[in-house]
């Protein structure tokens, strides 16, 4: 294990008021790997994503970027590091058009004014690469179908050439064809050397795509698995809590990475 | 002119499909048919997507003008239209500020009081204390900016809805205005002073109005032509040249008709020129700058804006600062119209008219949709009704009921448009 992981969480805690949502979370993401984050409802998966993306910063614990500790206090910090997120609720502005949403917060300017032509050109280039059904770029996002909105959200996350992509339930709202389109895309991104954290309820997706799986239960780590070798029953048992005695530290797993 | 420029503003997002000639028709007729076809396609798409824009308000305005003109043929006389164009300025400027606040999905109830406060401050500083006019003017406008900034920052930090914070502002600033005016009650402004000139000055030279119309038309044409060439250069979909020519021609027709009518009375009013320049400038700020994009984004989804690492506190503060500033400027124009400031300044229907103007003009109460031109169009409707009622000797009671009906219709259209847009998305 010569190179340190791209991103590592060590003992991260997060509480909302008196409720401890995340306790001593450990997680490692490496370039060119897809890690599935699994867990029952309320296990803290989405909160963990928001901690990494800076929406709700961690209370305690260390976040390491390529081995050295970094602070992620705001969404801005995460973006500067190269962490992009597709949230479960997509976090799009329904009234803005596709171009406006893609470039929100990093508009291209020309003489101080928005350069709509250039932004539209890059948008259509990016979308043509991602999907077959490019939506109307000037239609407000609220008038797009949910699959098209998902595409827009993913396209936005890829705009800044990120190194880590966090996907919170990217296929939950999609039909069969769009799901496989998204999964193909994740596969491509892994091959291009991105680290991907994928939250999913669908064990089929996880089996097909993920290299490793990290299970959360009640806000704590409840096991790390190599998806290709670990039996599915064991992973599910860990999600449901049938096996709670998996060591929280991942030391014994290190050799396998 | 107003109308024409607005449709240009809307049209930038609608690139009609490049015309295709299937059948051979005489060239001119074919060209016209293509333009109309393109327009119909865009219109149908916009209607089904719930993007009505300024279409309803233009229809209402036309209906109001036709009705009053048929009741009394002095309604559309140059004199009445010229007065109308000056009467809309004070409240119109306040309504432009309201548009900013509505765009982020909030409401500012303090604009009436702030406009009164600014006028009182100017009058007392200039008339009672002998402060030079320009300095008093700047201080009065700044008082609006400061009042708005304080309110905006409170809204952003406490996360109390703006209408509650500005309700407190309404009372506070009205009290402050009464305190500043003191016992004297009414202060008369210098009839030949700077502020009085704001609404009493006319560019009597015919060339003034025509050159403004020509410059506006020329600029719009150059900007759309340049945009088209850039899009062609990178192979993006673009508007056909004919569409640009037709749009510019419509704008030119409206602008030059307005200029002709204004010249038939006293020429181009300074107040109208200021209103148009301010509204056009702020329209560019909203639609073509990073700041404006943030305002629209905030109205779309505050959480998405925050996650896009934008400065939500800053934008909320700035928006209420803009509405405070515009309220102060509007207040000075209202004082200029009557060349005095009394204890009643900024009270009564002013606040409601300003909000109604923005909403009637097509700015959504739900946030995220609307342009500054809607304030002008909405104000034209409200003022046309008021003026028509005076000309036809209709009692005020009826005027209120009609304006109320128009406002109600505007709100219903807004809600229906929103719902249709969402339904469109589910399909």
B233-261 per-position pLDDT tens digit: 888 888 888 889 999 999 999 999 999 99
Cross-strand partners of A189 = none
Q: Given A125, A160, A195, which residue is the final one in a domain?
A: A160
A85 vs B contacts (CB less than 8 Å): 307
Same domain, residue pair A42 and A78: yes
The predicted complex's ipTM stands at: 0.85
Whether A225 is in a domain gets the answer yes
* Distance (Å, whole) CA B97 – CA B85: 19
Tens digits of residue pLDDT in A136-194: 888 889 888 888 888 899 899 988 889 999 999 888 778 788 888 888 888 888 998 99
Whether A87 is in a domain gets the answer no
* Distance (Å, whole) CA A123 – CA A151: 12
Whether B172 is in a domain gets the answer yes
Same domain, residue pair A156 and A167: no
Q: Which of A57, A87, A105 best tests the B interface by mutation, with the highest count of B CBs <10 A? A: A105
Place of tokens 């309504």: B95
Whether B21 is in a domain gets the answer no
Whether A24 is in a domain gets the answer yes
Same domain, residue pair A150 and A244: no
A window 55-84, beta carbon within 8 A of B: 55, 74-76, 79
Q: Is residue A207 classed as helix, strand or coil in its secondary structure?
A: helix
Same domain, residue pair A65 and A178: yes
B118 is in which domain, residue-wise?
2-9+53-204+266-419
Whether A131 is in a domain gets the answer yes
Whether A205 is in a domain gets the answer yes
Sign (positive/negative) of CA torsion A49, A53, A54, A57?
positive
pTM of the predicted protein model: 0.87
* Distance (Å, whole) CA B293 – CA B286: 7
Whether B227 is in a domain gets the answer no
Burial class (CB in 10 A: 0-12, 13-18, 19+), B368: buried
Sign (positive/negative) of CA torsion B345, B347, B351, B357?
negative
Same domain, residue pair A198 and A225: yes
A96 vs B contacts (CB less than 8 Å): 293, 296-297, 300, 368
B window 374-413, beta carbon within 8 A of A: none
Contacts of B196 (CB under 8 A, 6+ apart): B189, B190, B336, B339
Residues of chain B with pLDDT > 90, as a percent, come to 66
CB B219 within 8 A of CB B356: no
Considering only A67-81, B1-15, B28-42, B363-377, which range has the smallest mean pLDDT? Answer: B1-15
Same domain, residue pair A170 and A155: no
A144 is in which domain, residue-wise?
94-160
**Residue of B227, B290, B306 with shortest CB distance to A117:** B227
Whether B357 is in a domain gets the answer yes
Q: Given A160, A184, A203, which residue is the final one in a domain?
A: A160
CB B385 within 8 A of CB B402: yes
Same domain, residue pair A223 and A150: no
Domain count, chain B: 1
Same domain, residue pair A151 and A180: no
Whether B236 is in a domain gets the answer no
Tens digits of residue pLDDT in B152-207: 999 999 999 999 999 999 999 999 999 999 877 889 998 899 999 999 999 999 99
Q: How far is B282 from chain A (nearest CA, A)?
A: 13
Whether B79 is in a domain gets the answer yes
A117–chain B Cβ distance below 8 A for any pair: yes
Q: Given A123, A143, A160, which residue is the final one in a domain?
A: A160
Whether A110 is in a domain gets the answer yes
Q: Quick check: A143 and B15 CB within 8 A? A: no
Same domain, residue pair A166 and A249: yes
Tokens of A216: 């959360």
For chain A, give percent helix, strand, coil, nearest 5.
Answer: 35, 25, 40
Place of tokens 């190179």: A3
Whether the pLDDT of residue B3 is over 50: the answer is no
DSSP B59-100: HHHHHHHHHHHHH-TTTTSHHHHHHHHHHHHHHHHHHHHHHH
Same domain, residue pair A204 and A190: yes
What stretches in chain A show pLDDT beneath 50? Answer: 247-249, 251-257
Whether A51 is in a domain gets the answer yes
Strands (E), A123-194: 164-168
Domain count, chain A: 2
Same domain, residue pair A178 and A56: yes
**Residue of A92, A94, A114 with shortest CB distance to B289:** A114
**Element at A215 (helix H, strand E):** strand A212-217
Same domain, residue pair A152 and A203: no
Place of tokens 């009692």: B395
Whether B33 is in a domain gets the answer no
B14–chain A Cβ distance below 8 A for any pair: yes
User: What's the CATH number where B93 sits?
Assistant: 1.10.3470
Whether A89 is in a domain gets the answer no
Tokens of B157: 């930090």
* Distance (Å, whole) CA B349 – CA B399: 12
Tens digits of residue pLDDT in B81-131: 999 999 999 999 999 999 999 999 999 999 999 999 999 999 999 999 999
CB A190 within 8 A of CB A220: no
CB B261 within 8 A of CB B81: yes
Tens digits of residue pLDDT in B251-308: 999 999 999 999 999 999 999 999 999 999 999 999 999 999 999 999 999 999 988 8
A111–chain B Cβ distance below 8 A for any pair: no
Whether B160 is in a domain gets the answer yes
User: What's the CATH number where A202 sits?
Assistant: 3.40.50.300
Q: How far is A213 from chain B (nearest CA, A)?
A: 26
């Amino acid at each position: 294990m010569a190179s340190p992981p791209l991103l590592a969480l060590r003992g991260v805690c997060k509480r909302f008021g008196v409720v401890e949502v995340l306790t001593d979370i450990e997680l490692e993401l490496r370039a060119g790997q897809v890690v599935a984050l699994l867990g029952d409802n309320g296990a803290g998966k989405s909160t963990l994503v928001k901690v990494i993306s800076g929406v709700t910063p961690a209370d305690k614990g260390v976040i390491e970027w390529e081995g050295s500790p970094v602070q992620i206090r705001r969404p801005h910090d995460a973006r500067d590091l190269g962490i992009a997120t597709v949230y479960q609720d997509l976090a799009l502005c329904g009234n803005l058009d596709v171009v406006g949403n893609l470039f929100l917060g990093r508009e291209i300017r020309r003489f101080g004014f928005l350069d709509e032509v250039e932004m539209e050109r890059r948008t259509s280039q990016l979308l043509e690469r991602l999907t077959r059904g490019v939506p109307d770029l000037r239609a407000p996002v609220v008038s797009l179908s949910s699959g098209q909105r998902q595409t827009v959200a993913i396209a936005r996350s890829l705009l800044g050439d990120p190194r880590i992509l966090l996907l919170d339930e990217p296929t939950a709202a999609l039909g069969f064809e769009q799901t496989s389109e998204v999964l193909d895309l994740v596969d491509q991104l892994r091959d291009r050397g991105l680290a991907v954290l994928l939250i999913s309820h669908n064990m089929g997706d996880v089996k097909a795509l993920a290299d490793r799986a990290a299970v959360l239960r009640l806000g704590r780590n409840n096991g790390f698995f190599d998806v290709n070798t670990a039996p599915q029953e064991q992973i599910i048992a860990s999600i449901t809590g049938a096996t709670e005695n998996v060591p929280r530290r991942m030391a014994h797993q290190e050799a396998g990475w | 002119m107003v109308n024409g420029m607005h449709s240009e503003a809307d049209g930038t997002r609608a690139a009609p499909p490049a015309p295709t000639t299937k059948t051979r028709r005489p060239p001119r007729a074919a060209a016209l048919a293509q333009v109309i076809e393109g327009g119909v396609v865009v219109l149908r798409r916009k209607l089904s997507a719930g993007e009505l824009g300024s279409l309803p308000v233009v229809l209402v305005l036309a209906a109001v003008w036709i009705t009053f003109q048929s009741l009394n043929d002095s309604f559309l006389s140059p004199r009445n239209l010229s007065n109308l164009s000056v009467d809309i300025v004070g409240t119109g400027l306040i309504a432009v500020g309201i548009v900013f606040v509505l765009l982020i999905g909030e409401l500012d109830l303090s604009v009436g009081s702030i406009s009164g406060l600014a006028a009182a401050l100017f009058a007392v500083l200039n008339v009672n204390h002998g402060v030079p006019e320009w300095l008093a003017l700047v201080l009065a406008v700044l008082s609006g900016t400061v009042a708005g900034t304080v309110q905006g920052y409170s809204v952003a930090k406490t996360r109390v809805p703006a209408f509650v914070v500005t309700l407190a502002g309404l009372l506070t600033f009205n009290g402050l205005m009464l305190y500043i005016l003191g016992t004297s009650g009414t202060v008369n402004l210098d009839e030949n002073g700077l502020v009085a000139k704001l609404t009493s000055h006319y560019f009597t030279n015919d060339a003034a109005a025509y050159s403004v119309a020509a410059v506006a038309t020329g600029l719009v044409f150059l900007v759309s032509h340049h945009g088209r060439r850039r899009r062609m250069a990178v192979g993006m979909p673009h508007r056909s040249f004919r569409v640009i020519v037709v749009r510019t021609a419509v704008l030119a027709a409206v602008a030059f008709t307005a200029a002709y009518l204004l010249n038939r009375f006293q020429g181009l009013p300074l107040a109208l020129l200021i209103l148009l320049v301010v509204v056009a400038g702020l329209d560019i700020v909203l639609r073509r700058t990073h700041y404006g994009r943030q305002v629209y984004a905030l109205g779309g989804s505050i959480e998405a804006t925050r996650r896009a690492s934008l400065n939500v506190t800053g934008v909320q503060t700035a928006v209420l600062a803009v509405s405070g500033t515009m309220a102060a400027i509007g207040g000075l124009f209202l004082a200029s119209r009557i060349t005095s400031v009394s204890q009643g300044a900024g009270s009564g229907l002013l606040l409601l008219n300003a909000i109604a103007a923005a909403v009637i003009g097509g700015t959504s109460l739900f946030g995220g949709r609307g342009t500054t031109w809607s304030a002008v169009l909405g104000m034209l409707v409200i003022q046309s009704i008021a003026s028509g009622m005076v000309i036809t000797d209709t009692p005020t009671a009826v005027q209120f009921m009609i304006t109320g009906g128009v406002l109600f219709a505007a709100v219903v259209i807004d809600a229906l448009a929103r719902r249709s847009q969402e339904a469109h998305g589910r399909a």
